[in-house]
Amino acid sequence: MIVDLEARVLAKNDARAAQNRAWLAERRILALNLVSSPGAGKTTLLVRTIRDLAAAATLTPICVIEGDQETARDAERIRATGAAAVQVNTGTGCHLDAEMVARGLTALDPPAGSLLMIENVGNLVCPALFDLGERAKVVVLSVTEGDDKPLKYPHMFRAAALVLVHKIDLLPYVDFDVSAALDRAHHVNPRLTALTVSAKTGEGLADWYAWIRAQHERAAPAL
């Protein structure tokens, strides 16, 4: 009975996600779903990304759907960059779903050809199951976590297109083996692209921005 209920919930979500995906494709909007454990630095990385891309005037405008159980703190940080953001609070829920994103899209009304960043609730379990209509899931893995996370949470790494090993400026102070983490991630998902980055120092961010631009060109080709 529980299995049947889960199947119905996911089927309903997948149908709404397909509608979101069609809506985004029609408007040539690139949507990326950022996922991670709590404290991996998604918001800090997102703030740095928005400011750097805005300064380079290469991808504008950028809109954000912020997912958290409570508070609007992260959306306020995003709005401080000048980007439009809407906060979606899930209450006791541990993830965003496609219907929540649909409501966020209605509130934001992102313009054609824009970039939509969806910052999911900090959790490496439930968000792996729920398609939001995004082009790709991006896993942010902090070096302050264990380098065995890809083996512990294989469904998330299998569902992702990109893993960002974040906070590499802290590597001298933590016991984290980058090579081992990436080997484990590729064991779970051989097609996974991997980059190492630091929002604090800027190291590796050029490669992250190049990846975004390549995805954006596919979603919003020049007319």
Q: Kindly list the distances between the CA atom of residue 58 and the CA atoms of 36, 199, 219, in Å, as whole numbers in the listed order.
A: 26, 19, 15
User: Mean pLDDT across the stretch 69-94?
Assistant: 91
Mean pLDDT, residues 15-41 = 97
The pLDDT score that the predictor gives to residue 59 is: 62
The arrangement of secondary structure in 2-219, i.e. its CATH architecture, is 3-Layer(aba) Sandwich (3.40)
pLDDT at 165 over 60: yes
Query: Is the pLDDT confidence value at 134 over 70?
Result: yes
Q: Looking at residues 134-150, what average pLDDT do you find?
A: 97
Average pLDDT over residues 70-99: 92
pTM strictly above 0.85: yes
The answer on pLDDT for 57 being more than 80 is no
| pLDDT tens column, 27-37 | 999 999 999 99
| Cα separation values, 89 from 83, 86, 192, Å | 19, 10, 30
Query: In the beta sheet, which residues pair with residue 194?
Result: 163
Q: What is the mean pLDDT of the chain?
A: 93
For the chain, the first-to-last Cα distance in angstroms comes to 50
For the chain, domain boundaries: 2-219
H-type alpha helices, 114-204: 149-152, 154-159, 178-188
